[in-house]
Amino acid sequence: MNSAINKLMTDCNLKLIEVSKRYQMGPYVISDFSYEFETRSATALIGPNGSGKTTLMRILSTAAYPTSGKIMFGSLNIHEHPHQFLVSVGVVPDEPDLPQYLTAIELLEWILRSRNKWNGQSGDDINNLLDVLMLDERRNNVIGTYSSGMLKKTQIAVALITEPAVLLMDEPFRGLDEDSRTATMDLLIRFKKNNGLLILSSHMKTSLEPLCDNYITFPLNQNELTANN
Amino acid sequence: MYPLRKTKSATTTASSFFSFIIVIIYITTLIHNISLQDRFIILRYWELILTGFFAVIHPYLLFPEENMSLLQALNPSPNELIRYQLRNQRYTILGITVIFLIISFWDLHGWQHSILLKVQYFLSSLLFIVGLFSYSYRKYISIGNESQAYQEGIKGERIRKFRDETGQMAVPIGAIPTMQTTIVIGIVGMLAVVFGAYLSNRLQMNMEWIPGFLLLAAGILPFSKIRKVFDHFFYQTNAFYKEYFTSPFSGGLQHANDYPYESVYWVPVKWRASTWSGIVQLDRAYPLGRFILLGHLFLWILFYHGSSQLIINGYLLLFIIFHNINIYLLTTSVMGKQSWNYRLQSISNWIWSRFFIQIRWFLPLILSLTVVMIFSSRFTIYSLLSWSAIYILSSLISSIFFTYLYEFRYQQTYD
């Protein structure tokens, strides 16, 4: 059933319809924001700290719920059916939040098995992905020993191993050395070309130009949005 | 493959185990020679205490989910999410089962003495707790939508207006559905205990399984309706509590002057800064003051109803153990990672800072026990002094114990 859903979802856009979000009775961080993220596109959320990028990423990943409005993935309201939506989604959160006592390989195996995607080829797929991300022989060491760059590579691998239709990445290049950044960029370009839908937040606007087609500047202003695109 | 569990720090595991052992030792020492009837009364008191426990504490056991990004990656199905949450609470139910077993069967005359009756009351108490647990779980898991609506201004306009006009609202508005649920669970649980006791007395046989059965039905039947869309309730309620527990009063805004530094004038200067920061963090993260107030009220109720000395002493001991949760909470990474704390001040200074954070509840305890002493001839000045000494001593022991588990072990690892 999951593969059928995944197949259906590969050509779906992610549509935000008048989404607003505030924390308690504070000012609206996001106000009546409508936008459509399309497949085969990469959109960068750009802006200073505290401007709402991570809030939007959390809403898109169903870790937070909007104050009003809705988000549709095809015909699916993602907050009404988060499990169904997450079948097609890979998430790279800002904070490394990985189990300390598993190796990267064990973690990826766990995820594939949990999502019923493990097969005879999976061991090779894991190693190939970690090769591309340049996570070296320490992939067999426990995650608790990893540096920040290695943690980020592992997070990216976690998001990509299930071949999602949608990738949500919060600061995906933070902590990566230049070679790893280039390799990750190539991987994401290939993901996009294969009908992927990529949304990422970053401070590094200029270096995203080979990858990103659209930019959304935070704090959000609906009028400026059209001009940026 | 790897069943997902909440990972617990050494501090959490040790403190839970240690508290549990103290409770077990106390119960076994005091109940081995009591009558059958007293055992059943004690079981009822425990049912009342646990009603309060689940009513107030349950959302803190369930949320916020600390493995969220991993859960997103694993994407468990609704049924798997239910199993995951239930698994995380198994030790709570297991601990309660052990306590009930001991109360029912730890008998100087032999556990098999009046065994049928003991088994009946044990099973009916267990059924009550399982029923209460399922009722409470069902209520809290589906509270996210309503709570978020109150929290973010979609609902609760009249209450907000009342607060703005009068300035009288000590509770965050987002907490109103939680408070309502707490009150409902508390009342339902207590009435269930009273109803069971009443039926048993009227019919002269154990009918206390009936309220447990009704609670179980009230929990499980509606739950079966939401089972297929459990993921929606889980993610929504978790999203609410994640934001709520981070900053319940003002969404992270305008915390200046909530707890001025000068308010800890009574702490020696050397430890004042870290005592102040600990109190500020604790009070924002955990509304312990309300629980402690409830605890004092319950103590007065026990005296008012003429409860036996056994029950009073047991309750006071548990109450003091609960106070020491303050110190355990301070030694969690959300209050300050080990590496951070270790750089900030020495281990001995942490011990004293935590001791003084604990001591701020000493005066309310003294006042409460003084009220009891005035109105009850059973509670003497000697009792007051004894319990005060136990409180001070337990505070010091807890401060040393938890600081050992947190900063000292860190020092041993990295120095």
Q: Which of A22, A24, A114 sits opposite B74 (nearest CB)?
A: A114
Q: Which of B74, B75, B239 sits opposite A65 (nearest CB)?
A: B239
pLDDT tens by residue, chain B, 415 residues? 445 555 566 666 766 776 787 778 777 777 777 888 888 888 998 899 899 889 988 988 888 888 888 999 999 999 999 999 999 889 889 999 999 999 998 887 777 778 888 999 999 999 999 999 999 999 999 999 999 999 998 998 888 888 878 766 667 788 889 989 999 999 999 999 999 999 998 998 888 899 999 999 999 999 888 999 999 999 999 999 988 877 544 444 444 456 778 888 999 998 998 898 888 888 877 777 877 887 888 888 888 777 778 778 888 988 888 888 888 888 888 788 888 888 888 899 999 999 999 999 999 999 999 999 988 888 899 999 999 999 999 999 999 999 998 888 888 876 6
Distance in Å, alpha carbon of A8 to nearest chain B alpha carbon: 18
The pLDDT, as a whole number, for residue B168 is: 62
Identity of residue B176:
I
Distance in Å, alpha carbon of A94 to nearest chain B alpha carbon: 10
The answer to whether A65 contacts B68, with C-beta atoms less than 8 Å apart, is no
The answer to whether ipTM exceeds 0.90 is no
Taking CA–CA distances from A112, the nearest residue in chain B reads B74
Distance in Å, alpha carbon of B231 to nearest chain A alpha carbon: 6
pLDDT at A51 exceeding the cut of 60: yes
The pLDDT, as a whole number, for residue B253 is: 41
The pLDDT, as a whole number, for residue A57 is: 94
**Contact residues on chain A for B232, CB-CB shorter than 8 A:** 79-82
pLDDT, chain A, mean: 88
Taking CA–CA distances from A80, the nearest residue in chain B reads B232
Distance in Å, alpha carbon of A169 to nearest chain B alpha carbon: 12
> Which strands make up the sheet holding A76-77, listed edge to edge?
A28-37, A14-22, A68-73, A76-77
**A76-102 confidence digits (pLDDT tens):** 999 999 999 999 999 999 887 888 888
Q: Which of A26, A65, A82 sits opposite B231 (nearest CB)?
A: A82
Cis? peptide before A219, omega within 30° of 0: yes
Single out the residue of B322, B321, B341, B323 nearest to residue B331, CA to CA. B341
Q: Which of A80, A87, A95 sits opposite B232 (nearest CB)?
A: A80
Taking CA–CA distances from A95, the nearest residue in chain B reads B69
Name the percent of chain A lying above pLDDT 70: 91
The pLDDT, as a whole number, for residue B3 is: 54
Q: Are the CB atoms for A39 and A12 separated by under 8 Å?
A: yes
For chain A, give the number of residues: 229
The pLDDT, as a whole number, for residue B254 is: 44
Taking CA–CA distances from A78, the nearest residue in chain B reads B232
**A118-145 confidence digits (pLDDT tens):** 999 999 999 999 999 999 878 988 888 8
Start-to-end CA distance of chain B, whole Å, equals 37
The answer to whether B172 contacts A24, with C-beta atoms less than 8 Å apart, is yes
Distance in Å, alpha carbon of B186 to nearest chain A alpha carbon: 27
Q: Are the CB atoms for B67 and B6 separated by under 8 Å?
A: yes
The pLDDT, as a whole number, for residue A186 is: 93
The answer to whether B148 contacts A65, with C-beta atoms less than 8 Å apart, is yes
**A166-182 confidence digits (pLDDT tens):** 999 998 988 888 888 99
Residue contacts between A and B (CB atoms, under 8 Å): 108
Cis? peptide before B64, omega within 30° of 0: yes
